């Protein structure tokens, strides 16, 4: 079976179009970050530590916090996690909580962090997905940005480079 020359050209055009859209989307920081006009009150922020003890940030105030939801099977999570750790080195006053949305498994989580070169981030769990439901997440990775008053001022939907100048400039407004 012979494929016509015009069909090959159409296929190349479609493939190039899809490829270029992915490149443009990945570089457009503003498509992934949503900043609310007015901060949103949060009723409850509870999840589990590695020993499955409760962590309650509901009334925690005074620091900017990022709650990053991720999973070991999530490819964009793998790409963004090292930049999240870099952010904590550059701005230790920003408290980062990396919340694994899978069933708690210390070994799988440890192996995931090793595979992406992350050594200092603590990991947490949301085993019953209650926090995922509270924030009405639609995909991973998603990061909730919480201001010093304990309110959600924004969120990152999808992958972002937390160590990029664009993100750091955004965070400087809230530190």
pLDDT in tens, 61-104: 999 999 999 999 999 999 999 999 999 999 999 999 999 999 99
Examine residue 18 and state whether it is found in any structural domain, yes or no: no
pLDDT at 174: 86
The values of phi and psi at residue 112, to 5°, are -60, -50
| Of 55, 25, 64, 28, residue with least CA distance to 143 | 64
Closest CA to 145 of 51, 26, 71, 42: 42
Q: What pTM does this model have?
A: 0.82
Distance CA 127, CA 54 (A): 11
> Can you give the residue range of the structural domain that contains 82?
30-172
In a domain, 150, yes or no: yes
What mean pLDDT do residues 164-174 have?
Answer: 89
Asked if residue 6 belongs to a domain, the reply is no
Task: Kindly state whether residue 86 falls inside one of the protein's structural domains.
Answer: yes
Q: Tell me how many domains the chain contains.
A: 1
3-class DSSP state for residue 173? coil
Share the mean pLDDT of the chain.
88
Q: Is residue 3 part of a domain?
A: no
Does 135 score more than 70 pLDDT?
Answer: yes
Q: Tell whether 76 is covered by a domain.
A: yes
CATH number of the domain residue 44 falls in: 3.40.30.10
Examine residue 97 and state whether it is found in any structural domain, yes or no.
Answer: yes
**What is the residue-wise DSSP string for 23-59?**
HHHHH-GGGTEEEEEEEEP-S--EEE-TTS-EEE-TT
> Is residue 22 in some structural domain?
no
Query: Are 149 and 41 contacting, i.e. CB atoms less than 8 angstroms apart?
Result: no
């Amino acid at each position: 079976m012979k494929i016509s020359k015009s069909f090959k050209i159409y296929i190349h055009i479609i493939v190039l179009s899809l490829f270029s859209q992915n490149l443009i989307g990945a570089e457009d920081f503003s498509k992934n970050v949503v900043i609310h006009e007015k901060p949103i009150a949060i009723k409850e922020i509870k999840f589990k530590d590695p020993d499955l003890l409760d962590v309650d940030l509901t009334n925690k105030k005074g620091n900017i916090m990022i709650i990053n939801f991720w999973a070991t099977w999530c490819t964009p999570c793998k790409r963004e996690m090292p930049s999240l750790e870099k952010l904590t080195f550059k701005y230790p006053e920003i408290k980062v909580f990396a919340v694994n949305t899978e069933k708690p498994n210390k070994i799988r989580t440890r192996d995931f962090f090793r595979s992406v070169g992350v050594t200092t981030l603590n990991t947490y769990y949301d085993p019953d997905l209650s926090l995922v439901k509270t924030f009405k997440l639609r995909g991973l990775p998603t990061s909730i940005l919480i201001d010093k008053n304990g309110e959600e001022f924004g969120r990152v939907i999808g992958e972002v480079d937390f160590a990029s100048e664009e993100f750091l400039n955004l965070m400087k407004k809230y530190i």
